[in-house]
C-alpha cells in the first residue's frame, strides 16, 4: 500500500504535511463517502514521521460513551492522568489537550465527528470557543473527519455552523480514477484492471476486497455473487446508514438503473410527487451515488438527465438483483455464466468515463493540442441528418474555439475508417471550430485507420495499454 499512497493519495498527504509544517494551529476538515479511504489517508500521514497524535473514532452511541472512549484515547497518549478514569465533560477534555499542545506539537484526529455532534449538539460551539480563545495560541493540528457528507458540509463547513470560517484546510476525498485504482491489481491485464475499476467505482476498500482474490474475475464473483460477499448487501447497508426512508431511495436508484433518467420519469416509476422526488435525488447526488449530466454547451438544465455516478451501484443494480435467488441458493460461477457475457455492454459508459479521466490527466500535464477548460458528453439534434446525435466525449478550450471530439469503443469490433468518417461528420455540428479527434478502443484498430493516424495530425488513436503509459 505504500506505493498506493505515493501515487493515489500523494496530493492529500503532501498538503497535510504542509499544514503540519507551518508550526501553528491548524484546523482540518476531511470528509467523503464511506469506504473512500479518509481515515487511511490521515493515519498514513500521522504514521509518517511518527507524529504524536490522539486518535479517536466516534461511534453511534450516547454522549457519555463517546466521551469515555475519547478519554481513554487521551490517556493512552498521556497516561499520567489515567487514574481519573473519564473526563467529566468535553470541555475538561479539551482543557487538558490544550495544555499539552502548548508544550509540544500535537495532532488531535476525531473520526466520524457527526456521531458526537448528533449525541451532543453543543460540541461545535464549544470547539469554536476553544479555537478562538485557546487553540489558536497552540501548535495543535485538529482534524475532524466524517462520512456524512451533508452534515460535514452544512454543520461543520456551512455558513450557519459555529465552526464556519475556522478551518485552515478542507479535503473532500473523492474515489480514485482508473489509473490509481490499477495499483491494487498488480500484474493483471489492462482489461481486468479497467473492469476492476468499473465495478468498484474507484473506492479503495472495494478495490482492496476485489484484489484479495487470485484474479479480478474471482474477486468480483466472491464479493458480489456469494451470500457472505462484502458487496452483496453493500448498497442497502450504505443507504440504511446514510438516509432515512432507504426504501424510497432504493426505488429511485432502481428506476434510474432501468432507464428512467428525467425527474418526471423517475417520479412516475416510484409513484411519488416530482417535487418530493427531487429532494431525494439531491440527497443521492450529495452522497455521490447519482449525478446530473448536462450535455456540453447546453444552455438550459432542462436537457439534463440523471445517471448512476457510483460504479459499484451501477454494477450492482445491473446484475445482482436478477441473480439474488441463485446467490441465496449457493450457485457458483454466476459471474462467469450470467454476468461476463454482458460485461462489455456494462463497460460502455464506464469506458467513456475512463477516457475522459485519461484526457484530464493529459490536460494537467499539458500533453494535448490545447488546454481544455471543460469536458463532458454531447447530445443533440443533427440538422443535417435530422436525427438525434451523441458524441461520447467532447473537450473544449475555455473560449470554446478548440474542441476534441472522442469516440470510445470498448469492445465488439476494431474501429476503422468508417468510425473516423462518422466522427468527422459530427464535427459539422460545430462550424468554425478547430477540431481534433481521439478514438479510444479496447479491441485495437483496423490497419487502415492506423495508417491514417500516421499522416493525419488531427487524429489520435488510444488503446488500453496507452491509458497506462502516462
What pLDDT, in 10s, does the model give residues 319-339? 999 999 999 999 999 999 999
Residue 6 predicted with pLDDT over 80: no
Neighbours of 272 (CB within 10 A): 17
What pLDDT, in 10s, does the model give residues 62-114? 999 999 999 999 999 998 876 677 899 999 999 999 999 888 999 999 999 99
Report the pLDDT value the prediction gives residue 217, as an integer from 0 to 100: 97
Averaged over 123-129, what is the pLDDT? 94
What pLDDT, in 10s, does the model give residues 146-201? 998 888 999 999 999 999 999 999 999 999 999 999 999 999 999 999 999 999 99
What pLDDT, in 10s, does the model give residues 252-301? 999 999 889 998 999 999 999 999 999 999 999 988 899 999 888 887 77
Domains 2-172 and 368-468 share a fold: no
What pLDDT, in 10s, does the model give residues 44-57? 999 998 899 999 99
Any idea where the domains of the chain sit in the sequence? 2-172, 215-345, 368-468
| pLDDT confidence band for 4 (50 / 70 / 90) | low
CATH for 368-468 is 3.40.1350.10
Residue 349 predicted with pLDDT over 90: yes
- Topology annotation, domain 215-345: Arc Repressor Mutant, subunit A (1.10.10)
- Contact indicator for 171, 29 with CB cutoff of 8 Å: yes
CATH architecture of 2-172: 3-Layer(aba) Sandwich (3.40)
Residue 2 predicted with pLDDT over 50: no
| pLDDT confidence band for 346 (50 / 70 / 90) | very high
Report the pLDDT value the prediction gives residue 1, as an integer from 0 to 100: 47
- The 3-state secondary structure of the chain reads CHHHHHHHCHHHHHHHHHHHHCCCCEEEEEECCCCCCHHHHHHHHHHCCCCCEEEEECCCCCHHHHHHHHHHHHHHHCHHHHHHCCCCCHHHHHHHHHHHHCCCCEEEEEECHHHHHHHCCCHHHHHHHHHHHCHHHCCEEEEEEECCHHHHHHHHCCCCCCCCCCCCEEEECCCCCHHHHHHHHCCCCHHHHHHHHHHHCCCHHHHHHHHCCCCHHHHHHHHHCCCCCCCCCHHHHHHHHHCCCHHHHHHHHHHHHCCCCCHHHHHHHHCCCHHHHHHHHHHHHHCCCEEEECCCCCCCHHHCEEEECCHHHHHHHHHHHHHHHHHHHCCCCHHHHHHHHHHHHHHHHHHHHHHHHHHHHHHHCCCCCCCEEEEEEEEEEECCCCEEEEEEEEEEECCCCEEEEEEEECCCCCCCHHHHHHHHHHHCCCCCCEEEEEEEECCCCCHHHHHHHHHCCCEEEEECCHHHCC
- Contact indicator for 210, 200 with CB cutoff of 8 Å: yes
Distance CA 170, CA 143 (A): 10
Amino acid at each position: 500500500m505504500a506505493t498506493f499512497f505515493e501515487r493515489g493519495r500523494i496530493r492529500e498527504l503532501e498538503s497535510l504535511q504542509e499544514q503540519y509544517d507551518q508550526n501553528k494551529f491548524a484546523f482540518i476538515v476531511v470528509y467523503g463517502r464511506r469506504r473512500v479511504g479518509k481515515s487511511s489517508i490521515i493515519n498514513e500521514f500521522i504514521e509518517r514521521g511518527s507524529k504524536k497524535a490522539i486518535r479517536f473514532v466516534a461511534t453511534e452511541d450516547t454522549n457519555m460513551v463517546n466521551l469515555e472512549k475519547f478519554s481513554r484515547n487521551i490517556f493512552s497518549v498521556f497516561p499520567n492522568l489515567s487514574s481519573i478514569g473519564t473526563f467529566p465533560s468535553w470541555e475538561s477534555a479539551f482543557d487538558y489537550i490544550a495544555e499539552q499542545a502548548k508544550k509540544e506539537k500535537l495532532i488531535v484526529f476525531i473520526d466520524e465527528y457527526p456521531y458526537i455532534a448528533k449525541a451532543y449538539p453543543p460540541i461545535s460551539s464549544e470547539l469554536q470557543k476553544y479555537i478562538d480563545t485557546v487553540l489558536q495560541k497552540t501548535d495543535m493540528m485538529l482534524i475532524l473527519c466524517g462520512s456524512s457528507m451533508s452534515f460535514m458540509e452544512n454543520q461543520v463547513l456551512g455558513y450557519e455552523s459555529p465552526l464556519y470560517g475556522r478551518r485552515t484546510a478542507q479535503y473532500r476525498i473523492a474515489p480514485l480514477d482508473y489509473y490509481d485504482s490499477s495499483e491494487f491489481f498488480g500484474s493483471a491485464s489492462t482489461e481486468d484492471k479497467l473492469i476492476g475499476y468499473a465495478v468498484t467505482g474507484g473506492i479503495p476498500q472495494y478495490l482492496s476486497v476485489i484484489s484479495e482474490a487470485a484474479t479480478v474475475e474471482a474477486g468480483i464473483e466472491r464479493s458480489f455473487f456469494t451470500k457472505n460477499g462484502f458487496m452483496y448487501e453493500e448498497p442497502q447497508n450504505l443507504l440504511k446508514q446514510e438516509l432515512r426512508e432507504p426504501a424510497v431511495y432504493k426505488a429511485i436508484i432502481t428506476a434510474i438503473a432501468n432507464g428512467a433518467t428525467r425527474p418526471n420519469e423517475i417520479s412516475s416509476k416510484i409513484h411519488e410527487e416530482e417535487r418530493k422526488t427531487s429532494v431525494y435525488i439531491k440527497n443521492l447526488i450529495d452522497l455521490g451515488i447519482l449525478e446530473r449530466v448536462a450535455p456540453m454547451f447546453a444552455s438550459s438544465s432542462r436537457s439534463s438527465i440523471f445517471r448512476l455516478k457510483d460504479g459499484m451501484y451501477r454494477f450492482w443494480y445491473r446484475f445482482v438483483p436478477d441473480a439474488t435467488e441463485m446467490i441465496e441458493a449457493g450457485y457458483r460461477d454466476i459471474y462467469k455464466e450470467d454476468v461476463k457475457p454482458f460485461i462489455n455492454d456494462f463497460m460502455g459508459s464506464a469506458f467513456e468515463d475512463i477516457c475522459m479521466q485519461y484526457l484530464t490527466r493529459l490536460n494537467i500535464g499539458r500533453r494535448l493540442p490545447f488546454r481544455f477548460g471543460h469536458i463532458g458528453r454531447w447530445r443533440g439534434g443533427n440538422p443535417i441528418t435530422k436525427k438525434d446525435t451523441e458524441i461520447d466525449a467532447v473537450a473544449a478550450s475555455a473560449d470554446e474555439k478548440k474542441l476534441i471530439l472522442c469516440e470510445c469503443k470498448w469492445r465488439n469490433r476494431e474501429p476503422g475508417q468508417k468510425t473516423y468518417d462518422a466522427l468527422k461528420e459530427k464535427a459539422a455540428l460545430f462550424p468554425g471550430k478547430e477540431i481534433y479527434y481521439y478514438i479510444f478502443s479496447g479491441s485495437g484498430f483496423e490497419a487502415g485507420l492506423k495508417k491514417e493516424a500516421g499522416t493525419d495530425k488531427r487524429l489520435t488513436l488510444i488503446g488500453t495499454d496507452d491509458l497506462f503509459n502516462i
